[in-house]
Structure 1
């Protein structure tokens, strides 16, 4: 059976106390120091991570601000380019319209000149035919310039009346 002797219990308690103070003096102090160092290391890492996170947020905000500015600048550039393209298009259209009007005016002038030339040529031919017809009717030859001028004057009067 179990025998309990008071001296054994006393020495066991004394041994435990000595062992406790020994561990406390040599082991627990070092363990606590290591735990405190570890705690400080973890705290510094957490603080550094929070600092890095704050810097990252600040950098992100700056980036987003710059990106928004760049987008606005790009939109402004596109709007300016479109405005300049519209102005250039309007200028080109106005120039093309002016060129078309000028070409039409030149064509009308050429047509009028050609028409005038054709009428003059036709009058000359008709005058020549009239002189030939008058020669046939009169039975004599009318070659003089004055006769031809008289026939052209007559045709001009007839042309003005028609």
Structure 2
């Protein structure tokens, strides 16, 4: 049978209490400290990760802002380049118009001078022919038949001289 004695129970309780105190001092204390240290390390790592995430989001915002600024700057530069190109185009067209009108005026002046020169040469030639005809008429005696033959000869000579 089972023998239950108070001294046995008291010794067992004392052994359990000593074992509990021993374990509490040598086992639970260090384990608790290790657990607290690990908990502190994990919280520190989580804080670092949170801080790194905030910094990354801040850098992402700065990056997006700089990209937006770069795009705006590129659009402004393109607009400026187009405006300058338009101005240069307008200047070139205006200069070409001025040059062409100047050339047309010069050509018209040259044509007018050539026309005047041709007219004066023609007048001089006609005057010379008239003088030659008058001189011939004065040398010869005038009769209507002779006048007709002279007129025909004059026309033939004048036509041969200018062909």
Same fold (TM over 0.5): yes
> Cα offset for 1:138?
2.3
Aligned residue number for residue 6 of structure 1 = 4
Aligned residue number for residue 49 of structure 2: 49
- Measured on the aligned residues, the alpha-carbon RMSD in Å equals 2.2
Aligned partners of 2:137, 2:15: CA distance in 1, in Å? 173
Tell me the TM-score normalized by structure 2: 0.74
**Structure 1 residue 67 corresponds to structure 2 residue 53:** no
Q: Does 1:128 align with 2:132?
A: no
TM-score (norm 1): 0.75
Alignment: residue pair count? 138
CA distance in 2, matches of 1:13, 1:56: 60
- Deviation (angstroms), 1:105: 0.5
Report the CA distance between 1:19 and its aligned residue: 2.6
Give the 3 Å change call, closer, same or farther, for CA 120–9 of structure 1 in structure 2: farther
Highest relative contact order (Cα 8 Å, sep 6+), 1 or 2? 2
Listed as ranges, the gaps of 5+ residues in structure 1 are: 141-162
Between the aligned partners of 1:15 and 1:119, the Cα distance in structure 2 is: 150
The Cα of 1:129 is off from its aligned counterpart by 1.8
| Long gaps (5+) in structure 2 | 141-163
